[in-house]
Amino acid sequence: MPRVCFLLRVRRDRIEEYRTRHAHVWPEMLDALSAARWHNYSLFLREDGLLVGYLETDDFAAAQAAMAATDVNARWQAEMAGFFEVLDGRGPDEGMRPLTEVFHLAGPPPAR
């Protein structure tokens, strides 16, 4: 399954609150992500606000469109928009620009 990785930047003054919000993601948001085929979705946050997102999905554009069509996503994005730097008027979900994968080691480690 294709992997997607993206970067965003959380405002330094909102990092702790961002972490707290993600410790309690709305159940209906989790259901919507699953229904939209966002698999193995993870967010990693560095102390300076760099946010790295990772997910697996058959078609990222379709997965984004499926989420954009839900009411819960619109509510979540509206609440989260103030946490991010440099979105240029876009929502956080619209600011996700996939990185190009340059290497991937698949499978178990080699036997020694």
Q: Which residues are catalytic?
A: 22
Torsion sign across C-alpha atoms 44, 1, 66, 95: positive
Cα-based angle 80, 2, 46 (whole degrees, multiple of 5): 40
Place of tokens 């698999």: 39
